[in-house]
Copies of this chain bind each other. A is one copy, B any other.
Amino acid sequence: MKRDSRLSSVLHALLHMAGQDRPMTSDELAACMRTNPVVVRRTMGLLRQAGLVSSERGHSGGWRIKADLAAVTLRQLHEALGEPTVFAIGNRHETPDCLVEQSVNAVLDEAFAQAEALLLERFASVTLADLSAEFTRRFKEIKAPER
């Protein structure tokens, strides 16, 4: 199954943008992420709708982070992307007539709901600032390994 990698993509993009003072263009971000600038616009457009980034057209235009890095959680980004389906596994029929299947669905749904709740809770606990710190930590580790 083809997995939705937009959350991963926008995080990558936002962290690169965070290190810049000037706006970054869709072409620059696309080059970073090995994708197409139109895909970048489409995805970043969703973040703009959520008020997390802004875009400017014309010369020296591009994308800018609008929010405080410490105030943006992965969960907000997930929501900005339209809360895409989390699981690649699911029930065969959503509202079956068969009582057996209803029972199966109920039990599976409960398990999936718990796992999704945990995932979203984890997402809510991580901010862009945290990610940035994680990057800094890794960067230092590479420059001064085996301390």
- Binding site of A, secondary structure by majority: helix, strand, loop or mixed? helix
Q: How far is the CB of A82 from chain B (nearest CB, A)?
A: 12
Q: State the oligomeric state as a number of copies.
A: 2
Q: From B2, B16, B114, give the contact of A100 (CB < 8 A).
A: B16
Contacting pair B107 A111 (CB below 8 A): no
Q: Total interface residues on A, using CB and 8 Å?
A: 55
Residue A57 is within 8 A (CB to CB) of chain B in the complex: no
Instruction: Tell whether A88 pairs with B15 under 8 Å between CB atoms, given A111-B123, A115-B118, A115-B119.
Output: no
Contacting pair A118 B107 (CB below 8 A): no
Provide the bound-state CA to CA distance between A135 and B106, in Å. Answer: 10
Q: From B3, B101, B111, B138, give the contact of A87 (CB < 8 A).
A: B3
Residue A60 is within 8 A (CB to CB) of chain B in the complex: no
Residue A36 is within 8 A (CB to CB) of chain B in the complex: no
